[in-house]
């Protein structure tokens, strides 16, 4: 079981089990998580409550919850060093989420870019949960007195709101919440679509050629990279107006550990075909051990459920302390 120390800072992050995770999820967040587990107190959550802001097939949601937990472990997160749990197994998330709704302004939520984007995509289901999603995200983070939150560029606005909510509550009731700071990796923080490189790679994209998933086969990965949109130039160079090439260079750099400049020199004088094949192979080779470990873990449902149970119990004990503090400050009566 993970040992939490007062001498270490705390990191929290959550991933939705609402689709097969992409290399954008991997490079922008999950790949970095294993680097933190010895230096920080780490909590990584499968945020199934966030997933239901759009309609889910119940059987698929259950399956993907197991798969997301298995992927956490397959990418190097040790359940003995990190708390890996499912959001709905810790009721404190929803309880604090309601409380923080009362300290979040309507105007703040209406300005959230993701609400506007998701409303446009789900015009027949613009529900209250979709609107208050960032407040539940704030509760996820603040419950654990989180110091650092690894975020992609698209989630930075939500973290800024979390900070505002924490500061507002603290100003009324005294120091209650740690005000978290973002961690955004220098490279790979935002991986673009292979088909539309001006847009973020999204696991919900209907165009399969636009998305490379962590669990795709090697053949599928290479095929998708071969079809990646580039430009009419022939020079592998990171530059304005070369969104497709810039995206592929970022991906190649992230998987190989080479700098953008080293990659440019490597492919100097070579065509886009050679470059795209090399990016595909680098991606597939890097993900091969992850896929193999995932296959082993997903076949052992009893082990995954044991991790869910023990880790959620530990998460609950930590979360309950914060929630009890909040409830006392608000004037709620408590029965022991």
Which residue in the list 31, 118, 224, 242 is annotated as catalytic?
118
Nearest to 251 by CA among 217, 288, 287: 287
Is there a contact between 77 and 33 (Cβ–Cβ < 8 Å)? Answer: yes
Please report, for residues 45, 77, 188, 198, the alpha-carbon distance to residue 68 in angstroms, rounded to integers and kept in the order given: 9, 12, 20, 27
Q: What are the backbone angles phi and psi of residue 37, rounded to the nearest 5°?
A: -70, -20
Q: Which residues, in sequence order, are CB contacts of 235 under 8 Å at separation 6+?
A: none
258 catalytically annotated: no
121 catalytically annotated: no
118 catalytically annotated: yes
Please report, for residues 213, 252, 282, the alpha-carbon distance to residue 249 in angstroms, rounded to integers and kept in the order given: 18, 5, 11
Q: What are the backbone angles phi and psi of residue 224, rounded to the nearest 5°?
A: -65, -40
Give dist(CA 332, CA 52) in Å, integer.
29
Which residue in the list 31, 200, 224, 276 is annotated as catalytic?
200
Give DSSP secondary structure letters for 37-92.
TTTSEEEEEE-HHHHTTS---HHHHHHHHHHHHHHHHHTT--TTTSEEEEGGG-TH
Which residue in the list 8, 9, 156, 203 is annotated as catalytic?
203
Collapsed DSSP state (helix, strand, coil) of residue 276 = helix
Please report, for residues 34, 252, 310, the alpha-carbon distance to residue 237 in angstroms, rounded to integers and kept in the order given: 31, 13, 49
Catalytic residues: 118, 200, 203
């Amino acid at each position: 079981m993970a040992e939490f120390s007062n001498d270490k800072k705390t990191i929290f992050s959550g991933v939705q089990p609402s689709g097969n995770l992409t290399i954008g999820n991997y490079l922008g967040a999950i790949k970095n998580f294993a680097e933190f587990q010895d230096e920080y107190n780490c909590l990584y959550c499968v945020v199934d409550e966030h997933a239901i802001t759009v309609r889910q097939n119940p059987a698929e949601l259950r399956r993907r919850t197991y798969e997301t937990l298995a992927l956490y472990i397959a990418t190097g997160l040790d359940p003995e060093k990190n708390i890996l749990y499912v959001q709905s197994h810790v009721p404190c998330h929803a309880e604090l989420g309601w409380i923080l709704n009362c300290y979040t302004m309507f105007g703040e939520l209406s300005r959230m870019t993701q609400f506007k984007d998701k409303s446009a995509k789900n015009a027949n289901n613009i529900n209250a949960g979709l609107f208050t999603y960032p407040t539940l995200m704030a509760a996820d983070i603040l419950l654990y007195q989180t110091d650092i939150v690894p975020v992609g560029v698209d989630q930075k606005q939500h973290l800024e709101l979390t900070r505002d909510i924490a500061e507002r509550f603290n100003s009324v009731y005294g120091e209650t919440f740690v005000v978290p700071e973002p961690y955004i990796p220098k490279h790979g923080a935002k991986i673009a679509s292979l088909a539309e490189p001006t847009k973020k790679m999204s696991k919900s994209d209907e165009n399969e050629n636009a998305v490379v998933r962590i669990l795709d086969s090697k053949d599928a990965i290479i095929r998708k990279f071969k079809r990646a949109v580039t430009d009419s130039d022939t020079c592998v160079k990171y530059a304005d107006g070369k969104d497709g090439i810039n995206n592929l260079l970022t991906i190649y750099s992230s998987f190989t550990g080479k700098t953008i400049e080293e990659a440019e020199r490597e492919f100097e004088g070579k065509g886009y075909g050679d470059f795209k094949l090399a990016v595909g192979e680098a991606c597939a080779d890097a993900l091969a051990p992850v896929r193999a470990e995932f296959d082993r873990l997903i076949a052992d449902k009893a082990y995954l459920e044991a991790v869910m149970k023990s880790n959620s119990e530990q998460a609950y004990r930590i979360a309950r302390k914060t929630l009890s503090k909040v409830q006392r400050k608000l004037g709620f009566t408590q029965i022991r």
